[in-house]
Each structure stands twice: as C-alpha cells, then as structure tokens.
Structure 1
Amino acid sequence: MSLRKKIADSETVLNWAARRIAWYIRLVRKHSSWQRIGYEELDALVDQGEPVIVVLWHQRLAQSPYFFPLDKARICSITSAARAGSMVGRVQKLFGMDTIAMSSRTRHVALSRAVLGKMKQGISIGIAADGPRGPERVSSTVPLVWARSSGKRVFGITYSSRHATEAGTWDRLLLPRPWRNEGVLICREWTETVPRKASEDQIEALRQNLEQHMNDITAEADRMVGREPWVPES
C-alpha cells in the first residue's frame, strides 16, 4: 500500500478532516443570517414523535446538519461507504446524526430493511435523492420505495446562500462563504401518494414529480438569495 493511500485511509487523518469540515459548517451557520421557511408541518410531526423521510439534493449537503431539528428528534442519513461518502457520514455524526453506510454490494432489500427498522424506532430518514454518484439532480426511486413501504410522509429540504462557490465535483457542491452571508432553508412536503401496487409507469411518473418538486424548492431558495437558479442541460 502506498504512503498516500495509507494517509488517506488513516482514521486519525479522516477524523481530523471531518472535524475541520464540521468547524467550517458551524462557522457558516454562526456568521450568516438564516431564514427557516416552511417547517411548520415537519416540526409538528417531530413534536408528535412521528418519523419522516427527508429528501435533498447532493449539491446542497453542506448545510444538511441544520435541515432537521436534531434538538427534538433523531434522523439517520444514508451515505455511501466509499471514501467521500464515509466523510459525509463522519461529519454528520459530529452533529449528532445517525448514519447508515451503503456500499455498492449492499442489496436494496437489506438496506430497505435497515431503514424501515429505524423508522419503526421513531427515527427519521434522510437521503440525497441523486446520490452518491449522480447524475446530478436525477432522482432515484429509493425515496418512493421507502414512502410506499413505511407510509411515512416525505419532505423535500434544501438551502441556498447569497455568497457561495460551486465546487468542481459531479454535483457542483455549493460551498457558502463563512462571513457576512445570507442564507435560506426551505422545507416543503411532497404530497403525492405512492400506491402499494404501483406500475412501472406510475413509479416513473412519481419519480419525475419528486425530482421536479426538489428542483422547484431549490430554485425558489436560489431566487430568494439572488442566485441564478439551475437549469438542466437540454
């Protein structure tokens, strides 16, 4: 094993990097002005001890520790077992979130069983609908499967920031400036119902509907802070 790989796989190095990323996220939060919009319904469910499914875009992960009221309830984030996904999980754990690492070898049945088990314990579930490798802003059907199996309500959550940079990653990860910034968090329920015996065509139509829902609230957040909304390539 090369020295570079040993360093990259070192628990000490990985934990140090996770702490630095968490420090940056907290710095952005502390020194920015934030609006929290549309959370009334989700907050009410959390107060009742009712778990929900939270959906986000991978691009908006940088403020995900503040998407859910962690002071009131638990949420489990689904991350990738690969190095980048593992780092996301390490960072989220520092904020008090649970995580389930999903590897390419994990069977969907096994993952769904673990997720449904969490929800039966009253723990909400969070997932990047286009993660962990994209394509960017193309939703998977996974949130639909979990909504159908659990009967739990689905909330799309996103954020945007007036001063931010897009990283050169597949998802164009949005990185807010940590000083004198303005941001907005938007939470909005996806109100479609997934039939127990939905056909492939119905599932595809619902997948596209969820995708549009996420794009709509993200564009709304961008416009609120003066950012140009994302437009899909034709």
Structure 2
Amino acid sequence: MKIKLNETQWELVGIFGKLLLDLIFGTARGRVTGLEHARSPMRSGQFIAAIWHSRILMLSYLFKGWNATAMVSRSEDGEIIARVVQRQGYETVRGSSSRGGLRALTTMIRHLRAGRTAIIIPDGPTGPRFRVKSGVITLAKKTGLPILPMTYSAERAKIFASWDRFVLPYPFTRCRVIFGKPLTVPPDADADAEEACRVRLEAELNRITAEADRVFGHPSL
C-alpha cells in the first residue's frame, strides 16, 4: 500500500523521525568495538560506510553532523529514510540498483571527489536481505576510497516483519556498535576481482552483524 502524503506531511515525517531517534539513542547505553578498523578511514575524513538496511538507525544517529552523503532508494521506505537523515544533516542522493542507479552512482562519485563521506545501504531497497549488491564496489573502485563495514544490535528492540527484519531499538536499551575490516577495491579490478571484493564485504558485514546479535543472545535478527 502506497503512502500518499503531501509535502508538509513528509516534512513532519522527517522532523518526528529525527526526534524519535534522538530520544532512542540519546538514552541508549552503547559500546563500540572494532575501532582499530575505523581509526584510519575516519582520520582521513573520507570513506564509504556500508550498512545493512535493517541496521541504519543507530549509525545514522552516530554520524549525524559529518560531511556525509547518503544514497537512499526512491522507494517509499527510502523516502522515509531520506526525510529523517536530511534532518540529521546529511545530503541525500536518490537511487538504487532498481531505479536510477547509474545517475545516483555518478552523483555519489562527484560528491566523494568533492571531499564528502558516503553512506551506502548495499542490500537495499528490497533485498535480498544481507546480500551486497555491486554498486558499492563500483563506487569504491572509481573513487579509491575504502569501504568501512559497520553494524549494531540492541538488547531490546522492535523487529518488524519486513523483508529486512528492520530493527527499532527501545529507549534506554543497551546497544553494541561494531566496525569491520575496511576493504579497498583496486582501480584496475576486473569482473572477477570485483566479485571477490563483493563477497568479502558481504561476509564481513554478516560476520560483525552476527557478532553484535550474539552479544544480546539473539540467534539471528
């Protein structure tokens, strides 16, 4: 069912969405692991953050105020995400593998070459869940920037019955953020090398997500 809202209503979605995330994550008790993997990319000021669709909320909160551009799909879910992250201070580029992907990728390359950081949801907009699509690999190859995998889990959360099993933590809960090993795609990578990088990124994102879930005894969110 399509969400039919006018522009004022969409603006309210962004405002209240940001306020909700401020409430949730402003009261959450968090711990970060894997910082040894994140220090070098973060010190450089430029990298490509790769985050599963279901785990975007806390990480968009943590990185608000950064000089970052988020690639967000043109789907209805994407519109909600875009409105919220824009309120958090992100630039947004709209497009995905299924709609407007080439134009969005070209725009993202331009943003990165201008000095911005990128946030990519590699299994969006409609899955398959926890499967990396090739766009993030192409972006890393064209820009030379490292891909930094990141994820989180929460002790208490609402898990939606959506394709991605979207995670909405409750206020005052405990959270665990994990950074994975960065991945660089060689500029001369052929199709086989690109596929190997894609598989490595997917495996690393799944590894750290499973690790974050195990902290709170979740078998697999």
The TM-score with structure 2 as length reference comes to: 0.90
- 2:217 and 2:194 mapped to 1: Cα distance? 34
Structure 2 residue matching 1:189: 3-state secondary structure: coil
- 1:120 and 1:41 mapped to 2: Cα distance? 23
Alignment of 1:84-95 (within 5 A): 84-95=77-88
Q: Report the alpha carbon displacement of residue 107 of structure 1 after superposing the two structures with TM.
A: 4.8
CA contact (8 A) 2:71 2:104 kept: no
Q: Report the alpha carbon displacement of residue 80 of structure 1 after superposing the two structures with TM.
A: 1.1
**Cα distance change on mapping 1:97 and 1:29 into 2, 3 Å:** same
- 1:176 and 1:84 mapped to 2: Cα distance? 18
- Between Structure 1 and Structure 2, whose CA radius of gyration is higher? 1
Alignment of 1:151-170 (within 5 A): 151-170=144-163
**Cα distance change on mapping 1:182 and 1:136 into 2, 3 Å:** same
The aligned counterpart of 2:56 is 61
Q: Does 1:22 align with 2:21?
A: no
Q: Letter of the aligned partner of 1:33 in structure 2?
A: R
The aligned counterpart of 2:100 is 106
Range with bigger deviation, 180-189 or 90-99: 180-189
CA contact (8 A) 2:47 2:118 kept: yes
Deviations 1:93-112 (Å, cap 9, x if unpaired)? 1111111111645251x323
Pick aligned residue for 2:71 from 71, 78, 87: 78
Range with bigger deviation, 35-44 or 20-29: 35-44
Q: Does 1:198 align with 2:192?
A: no
The aligned counterpart of 1:181 is 173
Q: Report the alpha carbon displacement of residue 205 of structure 1 after superposing the two structures with TM.
A: 2.4
CA RMSD of aligned residues (A): 2.2
- Give 5+ residue unaligned stretches, structure 1: none
Give % identity.
Answer: 28
CA contact (8 A) 1:67 1:157 kept: no
**Cα distance change on mapping 1:77 and 1:56 into 2, 3 Å:** same
The aligned counterpart of 1:33 is 29
- Give 5+ residue unaligned stretches, structure 2: none
Q: Does 1:51 align with 2:43?
A: no
**Cα distance change on mapping 1:209 and 1:40 into 2, 3 Å:** closer
The aligned counterpart of 1:217 is 208
What is the aligned length?
Answer: 220
Q: Letter of the aligned partner of 1:190 in structure 2?
A: P
The TM-score with structure 1 as length reference comes to: 0.85
Q: Report the alpha carbon displacement of residue 188 of structure 1 after superposing the two structures with TM.
A: 2.1
Alignment of 1:124-163 (within 5 A): 124-163=117-156
- 1:133 and 1:81 mapped to 2: Cα distance? 11
Q: Letter of the aligned partner of 2:23 in structure 1?
A: L
